[in-house]
Structure 1
Amino acid sequence: MKWSKLVTLLLVVAVFAALAGTTTTKLWKGIQLGLDLQGGFDVLYQVQPTATDKVTPEGVIATQQALERRANAFGGSEPNISIEGTDRIRVQLAGIQNQDEAKRILGEPAKLEFRAPDDKTVLLTGADLKSNARYQQDPNTGAAVVAVEFKEPKKFEDVTTKYLGQQVGIFLNDKPLSKPKIETVISTGQAVITGMANPQEATRLAQLLNAGALPYPIKELSSMSVGATLGQAALQKTLYAAVVAFALIFAFMIVVYRLPGLIANIALLMYIYLLLAVFDGLKIVLTLPGLAALVLGVGMAVDVNIIAYERIKDEFRSGKTLLSSVIMGQKRSMRTIIDANTTSLIAGAIMFWFGTGQVRGFAIAHMISILVTFLTAVLLSRWMLQLLIRSNLVKNPWWFGASKKGAAK
């Protein structure tokens, strides 16, 4: 018996078991789940031209950035906001509790204007404000107000000087909020906006002002919402199906291929662990189609080993020794394995290139699973099987799926 080969194999398995046992839960919790798994909504907007401006590519990008700033204020998972076509923007937000309120905030233009007493001449806009608007309570009346600060205090000072003793209108989306009377010249650049009915409305206005107005109005074309309970149920059912699939595959590999099947199962566990590490490390959003692609990838990962093991049986039938059969079987099955996985990789790339939304999520998970399969099933599994063979721990061919007489079992 060659103890060095056996010790190396056992050490690899032990290190993996220790690593997986201590970090798998952390990796799973670190993976960002899509809206279909934790609840959220998907909205497709169309950027609309204004009376004076046509929609331009730069304007669409600016609108996307404004929507992203608003989405970041919700505090859910990282938003996915992408441009589709020439004038459409898709917003995907997961982990949002009040979906209706979030959609209302996203679609609101938030065009704030300070107007002269004639209610027509625009003196200042929301673009003149710093991004530090906040809700406050009026110490005298207890009313909800929004405290704002201007980027250039001199501009606000000039307005208060010119219109001292007059009423200046504050309009939001062309609707009057309040018309405060300027009692004194304000040189600090600080002011408050009144007219909100409650603290929630004041907080929402502060968020909108900090995110900035939308450069163009937007129109909702379609939307899809998934409740948190429904998303959690879908996740649990998919994970249950995955566990059942893993158990059946593990049993099948052990019964049919015996020790090589055990090696394949260990490699399969490594495959699952590496997938979790990749999704967590690269911060890839895991969607329900993506999770389905990963479960499907388990079967594809096992297929790689089955192709190699059946080729090994063919080599053993021809009269080769067990070690020679393993080496030649692995070598001659490599071309088939590479061709099969390459075509699957190409299919995944095409789905990613031409697909949108959940199709792309499936394609990403599919391609990652194929690449991880090459590492675990093609490299690690073969290396571990050769370590086992060369250790001479088990010499009976039956344990490798073959009979002593050289006939495959």
Structure 2
Amino acid sequence: MLRAVRLKFLFLFLLTVISILLVLPSFPVSLPSWWEKYLSRGLNLGLDLKGGMHLVLEVDLEQAITNELNRTARNLAGLADRQKIALKVGEVENKALPVTLLKASDQTVFLNLIKDRFPKLEVQGPRPLNGGQAYTLTLRPKEIESFKEDTLRRSLEILRNRIDQFGVTEPVIVPQGSDQIVVQLPGIQDPARARNLIKGTAQLEFKLVYDETPVNLEELIDAAERDGRLKDRYNRAEVNRALADKLPPDTEVYFEERRDPDTKRVIKTPILLKKKVLMTGDRVDNAKVRPDVTEIAVLVHFNPEGAQEFDRITRDNVKRRLAIILDEVVKSAPVIQERIPKGEARITGSFTPEEAADLATVLRVGALPASVKIVQDITVGPTLGQDSIRKGLISGILGTLLVVGFMIFYYRFSGVVADYALVLNVIMLLGALSLFNATLTLPGIAGIILSIGMAVDSNVLIYERMREEFQAGKPLKAGIDGGYDKAFWTIVDSHVTTLITALVLFIFGTGPIKGFAVTLSLGVTLNLFTALFGTRVVYDWTILKRWLKNLSFFELFKKPNLDFIGKRYYAFAASGILSFLGITAFLMLAWFGKGNLGVEFTGGAMVQFSAAQPFTVTEVRSALNREGWGHAEIQPLEAGKGLMIKLKKTQETVEQMADKLNQILNQALPQNKFKVEGTTEIGASVSRDLRQKAIIAIVISLVCIIAYLAWRFEFIFGVAAAVATFHDVLAVLGVFWLLDREITLLVVTALLTIAGYSLTDTVVVFDRIRENLARRRGTLAEIINESVNEVLSRTIVTSVTVFLVCLALYFFGGVVLEDFALAMLLGVLVGTYSSVFVASPIIFAWRKEVKRVAIQREKVIELEVQKQKRQEKRAAAGKKKKGGKK
């Protein structure tokens, strides 16, 4: 026996040492190079902790198909010209390319050309047209999906190449879904430059400037503005729609951008170009920066085919202006002075050295096959990240000390054993995260801190069972064994419900929320090991060594005898009010949009500032109102030393809005020295997706939990647990709505965590009710009251430990985790109440109703039987009477 316990102790010791070795690289210690190579590289810090940029890009795959057909049109026209096929290629519309064959006699040659050179195309036609033939070319249906996949793959490759040349350490560039790419750039110093480098499609085009008849574009645009046909004079698509009937055929308006050398502002000038694309950037072989005497230029070298094409273009258009267009912006439009046979083009545009270098990079790497749109943009400054680490550590250490101190006070020696298991749990959790080289985020730290509070729950369950065993007169060893045996399935059930919640969060969560789910699920899983195995080894060792003579616990309630079932109607009334408030909040938020929803769910932008001196909201609001920013929502942070400004989405990027706000605040309140610490921008598609996922996550987690509890107990137990959990989530949501607190993705995470915690509490009560029902001692009300009273001490002690951890998070975890911690604090209070006053009375009411229905059915059956007997008796008497007359 002693040898077996020694082996278990050795196993625990080895696990602890290995975990410490794995997590060591996460700390600033000097280690040999082989350590990280063969053992562990330690924990990665998320962008919210070390600063950086998180982007979600949406690739326009439909536009990619249009671009591909446009390239096909140019290649087809060139090949047809060389083979003397007379045809006219039209504009691509609805992913179809119209082609007119001017001579029907060319049909066979034309169709063979399509078959040989463009096998991915499907030909529809011919249709007779003015002596010729009309065809429609489209991509074959089976080619469209593979083309989209290839477009996403090529976009990933090009973005990787651009970012590699930008020089970011350990960037993350991965696909998400069928049309999105996630880009994470840790420690980025110039977010604006990185943003421009990433989102620029680098579609290079050459078009002729229209100069046949003079057109005063400025006057036309001014007139369209006055008539109300034009709202944004610098929106190219809108300008072309407004001036469609004023422009010459086959022309369109572009804008040429130049930077004013004095003010450094970008000036946009309208310029009229011919629609026909003469050449594109897919012929570029190399690009490099060349500083001229007057300005910086980017020198573009074409491949042999491109050199020939550019030679022909310059030869045929001497003394005409050729516009060089990059991503629909005219960079320059020089006059072609002479033929250029060497295959070189020079792009000017009053570039800064960085802009020229980035332009050369994107041209050299290649154009994206389709335009990308930033639908999510989160930037965290390094100062904010360091502050988050500091506050996360402070709140974690304080929460741990509070729990450790409370357990020692309440359970004495057993509290020390529980604290040992708690420390072992944290060490092994950090070791496991280091082994998988996981990324630790701020919500991930919250998950670790929360698992600290929940880790002692298993020990509390065991100790309260031990107390009952000792009160029944059992000796020390038998009482400890009985405590572990009787608490085993209750612990497993409560942990499974939390794991279901964590799994749903991982599947439907995004970014940092997945980090929370990982740390919470790992913490809960390891807690099963440390509570059921680790602490048992300590008890076995101390008993075998005869060091442990007895155990004593502090007792909060000495055999409580409260009538919970008798007070159920008061509880139902209070719960009804809380649930009504929650349902009202849900309807107002989800259907009517009335409430403080975070930008994750509404879309828009958010800018976070720090300030050197305290300020008032009135001062900030006045400064913004004076500059026309009265629509901005203002939220003070950290006792007037931080500021959050929320804005609806506009044409400007979040970076531009942040710069303008920073300038306004520092001009109006220079003594406060405002500084941008972080920015967030969420597009409408992402916010819609997050809203849907949040609702789906809540529903699926509850359905899974009901199914598990129905399997482990009875169906009514699952329903009662679900009702109590819905009640808790609605109550917290209602209070948040009433307090006008912001409902963010972290708050939804807290609501799901509350659901898991509340179910853990409820499962413990249900387990005791099931156990006592099997003994059949007394009426149903007496059994339920007795069960709830027996676990009341455990319920309150567990709630206190989790409450202490959430309290530390609320006061010391920083502004990011403040609402999460508040939701958890409310959830702990409401969850404790509901497991006692809501879930148990529902079982009582159901069983009472079932019994009443059964009794009623028996009475009905009995009455039917009696009625039938009377009828039979009367029938028999009638027959007898007739027989007597005869």
TM-score for both structures, normalised by structure 1: 0.75
Deviation of 1:108 (Å): 1.1
Residue 281 of structure 2 is aligned to residue 125 of structure 1: yes
Alignment of 1:220-259 (within 5 A): 220-259=374-413
Instruction: Tell me the distance in 1 between the aligned counterparts of 2:493 and 2:364.
Output: 53
Sequence identity, in percent? 27
The equivalent of 1:395 in structure 2 is 548
Please tell me whether the aligned partners of residues 325 and 331 of structure 2 are also in contact (alpha carbons under 8 angstroms). Answer: yes
Instruction: Tell me the distance in 2 between the aligned counterparts of 1:237 and 1:63.
Output: 41
Alignment of 1:108-147 (within 5 A): 108-113=200-205, 122-123=278-279, 125-126=281-282, 129=285
Pick which of 236-245 and 36-45 moved more. 36-45
The equivalent of 2:450 in structure 1 is 296
Please tell me whether the aligned partners of residues 77 and 93 of structure 1 are also in contact (alpha carbons under 8 angstroms). Answer: yes
The equivalent of 1:406 in structure 2 is none
Deviation of 1:339 (Å): 0.5
Residue 176 of structure 2 is aligned to residue 83 of structure 1: yes
Q: Which of 31, 37, 43 is equivalent to 1:31?
A: 43
Deviation of 1:294 (Å): 1.4
The change in CA–CA distance for 1:9 and 1:351 in structure 2 (over 3 A counts) is: closer
Instruction: Tell me the distance in 2 between the aligned counterparts of 1:192 and 1:373.
Output: 66
The equivalent of 1:58 in structure 2 is 149
The change in CA–CA distance for 1:20 and 1:348 in structure 2 (over 3 A counts) is: closer
Alignment of 1:12-31 (within 5 A): 24-27=23-26, 30-31=42-43
Deviation of 1:74 (Å): 5.1
Q: Which amino acid aligns with 1:31?
A: L
**1:56-104 deviations in Å (ceiling 9; x for gaps):** 75377347624455455451453365536x6555544442221222222
Deviation of 1:340 (Å): 0.5
**1:82-130 deviations in Å (ceiling 9; x for gaps):** 536x65555444422212222222221112357899996555634764x
The equivalent of 1:268 in structure 2 is 422
| 2:454 counterpart SS class | helix
Q: Which amino acid aligns with 2:453?
A: G
Please tell me whether the aligned partners of residues 16 and 428 of structure 2 are also in contact (alpha carbons under 8 angstroms). Answer: no
Q: Which amino acid aligns with 1:213?
A: A
Aligned residues: 389
Instruction: Tell me the distance in 2 between the aligned counterparts of 1:33 and 1:192.
Output: 45
Please tell me whether the aligned partners of residues 164 and 185 of structure 1 are also in contact (alpha carbons under 8 angstroms). Answer: no
**1:136-181 deviations in Å (ceiling 9; x for gaps):** 666x96976668787xx65456558768989998653353468797
| 1:243 counterpart SS class | helix
Deviation of 1:237 (Å): 1.0
Alignment of 1:3-402 (within 5 A): 24-27=23-26, 30-48=42-60, 49-50=62-63, 52=92, 57-58=148-149, 61-62=152-153, 65=156, 66-67=158-159, 69-71=161-163, 73=166, 75-79=168-172, 81-83=174-176, 91-113=183-205, 122-123=278-279, 125-126=281-282, 129=285, 154-155=304-305, 158=308, 171-174=325-328, 175-176=330-331, 195=348, 197-209=351-363, 211-389=365-543, 391-398=544-551, 401=553
Please tell me whether the aligned partners of residues 178 and 194 of structure 1 are also in contact (alpha carbons under 8 angstroms). Answer: no
Q: Which has the greater radius of gyration? A: 2
Pick which of 225-234 and 212-221 moved more. 212-221
The equivalent of 2:266 in structure 1 is none
Pick which of 177-186 and 229-238 moved more. 177-186
Instruction: Tell me the distance in 2 between the aligned counterparts of 1:311 and 1:33.
Output: 41
Instruction: Provide structure 2 residue ranges, at least 5 long, that are not aligned to the other structure.
Output: 29-41, 67-91, 96-143, 211-273, 556-886
The change in CA–CA distance for 1:267 and 1:206 in structure 2 (over 3 A counts) is: farther
The change in CA–CA distance for 1:135 and 1:161 in structure 2 (over 3 A counts) is: closer
| 1:397 counterpart SS class | coil
The change in CA–CA distance for 1:9 and 1:100 in structure 2 (over 3 A counts) is: same
Greater RCO structure (CA 8 Å; 6+ sep): 1
Q: Which amino acid aligns with 2:25?
A: K
Instruction: Tell me the distance in 2 between the aligned counterparts of 1:243 and 1:291.
Output: 11
The change in CA–CA distance for 1:237 and 1:203 in structure 2 (over 3 A counts) is: same
| 2:176 counterpart SS class | strand
Deviation of 1:347 (Å): 1.1
Q: Which amino acid aligns with 2:202?
A: A
Pick which of 263-272 and 220-229 moved more. 220-229
Instruction: Tell me the distance in 1 between the aligned counterparts of 2:494 and 2:477.
Output: 26
Deviation of 1:16 (Å): 6.1
Instruction: Tell me the distance in 2 between the aligned counterparts of 1:316 and 1:356.
Output: 48
Please tell me whether the aligned partners of residues 135 and 199 of structure 1 are also in contact (alpha carbons under 8 angstroms). Answer: no
The change in CA–CA distance for 1:31 and 1:253 in structure 2 (over 3 A counts) is: same
Instruction: Tell me the distance in 1 between the aligned counterparts of 2:524 and 2:197.
Output: 41
Deviation of 1:308 (Å): 1.9
Instruction: Provide structure 1 residue ranges, at least 5 long, that are not aligned to the other structure.
Output: 404-409
Deviation of 1:297 (Å): 0.9
The equivalent of 1:407 in structure 2 is none
Please tell me whether the aligned partners of residues 113 and 123 of structure 1 are also in contact (alpha carbons under 8 angstroms). Answer: yes
